[in-house]
Amino acid sequence: MILLIGTKNTNKIKEISAILRYFNVEIKSLLDFPEIADVDETGTTFEANARQKAEAWAKSTGFVTIADDSGLCVDALDGAPGVFSARYAGLDKDYTANNEKLLKTLQNTPDERRTAHFITVIACATPEKGTLFTVTGTVEGMITRELRGDNGFGYDPLFFYPPENATFAELPAHKKNKLSHRFRALEVFAAKFTDYF
């Protein structure tokens, strides 16, 4: 069977494909369907956005689809950037600008209050039934005062993970993939997916 990963983000496609490589499915992404339009994320929660995207792309392609909405929630900022993580510094989804804005916003925040978590909500939908289920994965950490590491993407250079004494961007991909919020959500997804299919 074909499983569509609802994203054009090559970093996410690589990460999700690596985690799902043992499944007996043919993985496709939105890069295989350039004619399909993006879905506006109008939800106020990660789950609403994930469902919205999975349902729209399942209908337009005819394939079982998974779509996620992920973000960084900083406790000192009342959960911001949250659902606006990708567009925190503007509509063009600029990782560098997002990181710079976060550092500037937190510049006067003491270290002990720089706690944060990454969250991923994954929705799985079929063309006929809409959303079958959603799953959530989170990982707790701290926001550093400077960019550290060259791996990963997004806020990874600022997200310090205490058990590894490193930011996500300082970890090799295979290690980060086993610790990340996306991996934790995909582990739960794998069990539910097996039940449904």
Catalytic residue status for 40: no
Write out the two tokens for 140: 């707790």
User: What CA–CA distance (Å, rounded) separates 116 from 16?
Assistant: 23
User: What CA–CA distance (Å, rounded) separates 121 from 84?
Assistant: 14
User: What CA–CA distance (Å, rounded) separates 111 from 68?
Assistant: 30
DSSP alpha helix (H) spans, the chain: 10-19, 46-61, 95-105, 173-177, 181-196
CA atoms within 13 A on the CB side of 139: 25
Compute φ and ψ for 180, nearest 5 degrees: -70, 160
Angle (deg, nearest 10), helices 181-196 and 10-19:
60
User: What CA–CA distance (Å, rounded) separates 13 from 11?
Assistant: 5
Exactly one of 69, 78, 156, 195 is catalytic; name it: 69
Give catalytic residue positions. 69
